[in-house]
Amino acid sequence: MQNVPDYLQLEFQKTKTALLNAQRIVIVSHRSPDGDAVGSNLGLKLALEALGKEVVSACVDEVPNYCKFLPKSETFVDDFNYDDFDAIVAVDCGALHLFRFHETKPEILSGEKPFINFDHHESNDNFGTINPVNPDGCATACILHCFFDYCGWKISIDIANCLLTGIYFDTGNLMHSNATADVFKMAGDLMAKGAKVQKISKELFHTTEVKKLRLWGRIMERAYVNEDGVTVSAVSWNDYEATDTTPQDTGGVIDYLNAVPNSNYCVLLSEDHNRRVKGSLRTQRNDVNLSDIASQWGGGGHPKASGFGVEGVLKPVLSWKIVSDNDGEEHAKEVKF
């Protein structure tokens, strides 16, 4: 068995008991789901179905196209009846507001039924009744791999593909700093169980429609580095309409913004049709904690990858400075349009 901290073993045991005692289980991924949110959800769904459980996968938003190759990705629902289930599971929800369903079903928080919170984000405040949360995990799929190992549950080929998708996505093709030696061992174990890393890599990072490239072109054209050394770009709802794309199509472009040399971190601002702006933050630096920065706007995440969401719309501001072309000294005037 893998080396699991004592506190996590305790949560694993409570989780195992709750899931075995439940017959009907709903698993919820965070809004605007990504590879880890979907892969973790489906991996757990398949494992529980193998135990004879009735399982429903739910999310308020649609599964992204790059995850639709995963088994049973088409079974996601966008709502459910609380009374129909014995246990509720959240996967990859770094904060309760990302779960969303508690807003229309506040009884989820009553403690009447087990509310299991599988996650790996530092911003998670253990909002469940049971909290298998490990901020040291590279992905929620990583936590689930450990959980299945702890329970002695079999990882089938389909489960392995789902879990490796989550790990591959959240480590950026196994290229981010969270891709440790232990993560490579885990990926190797999943490949040994039948996961197809070439297929996963192609679907997640090497399949891009022309309309998505057009959207990325707009984002790239607007990119700039501000005076604080932050690389910034933005995408409006008009951009999505003009290119026949959705906010999900921005996935992957932030890695290019994060590649700007000597940048402290990067921010991509994305507007949706509900008058809300999402901010995605990434950095390669070890002395920048993006979770702290994102928390200023009610967000959170990891030191090197975080996000936030605020009500409002994007409004571009163009700023020009007049400087001397001789000694570089600024004139006492700043013109803004």
40-57: pLDDT as tens digits:
999 999 999 999 999 999
Q: Would the pLDDT of 245 be above 50? A: yes
| Domain edges within the chain | 6-204, 210-311
Per-residue pLDDT, 241 = 95
Residue 334 has pLDDT above 70, yes or no: no
Q: Which residues pair with 58 in a beta bridge?
A: 28, 77
Cα–Cα distance measured from residue 155 to residue 291, given in angstroms and rounded to the nearest whole number: 33
CATH topology of domain 6-204: inorganic pyrophosphatase (n-terminal core) (3.90.1640)
Give the predicted TM-score (pTM) of the model. 0.83
Fold (CATH) for 210-311: Diaminopimelate Epimerase; Chain A, domain 1 (3.10.310)
- SS3 assignment, position 187: helix
What tens digit of pLDDT does each residue of 260-282 get?
999 999 999 999 888 889 999 99
- Condensed to tens digits (0 to 9), the pLDDT of residues 157-166 reads 999 999 999 9
Do residues 140 and 120 touch, judged by C-beta distance below 8 A? yes
What mean pLDDT value characterizes the chain?
92
- Tell me the pLDDT tens digit for each residue of 1-11: 678 889 999 99
Give yes or no for a contact between 313 and 300, defined as CB atoms under 8 angstroms apart: no
Helices 140-151 and 157-170, axial angle in degrees (round to 10): 140
Report the pLDDT averaged over residues 110-138: 95
Cα 32 to the chain's mean position, in Å? 8
Q: What is the mean pLDDT of residues 94-112?
A: 94
Q: How much is the pLDDT for 329?
A: 54
**What is the average pLDDT across 2-21?**
94
Residue 162: closest CA among 29, 51, 52, 67: 67
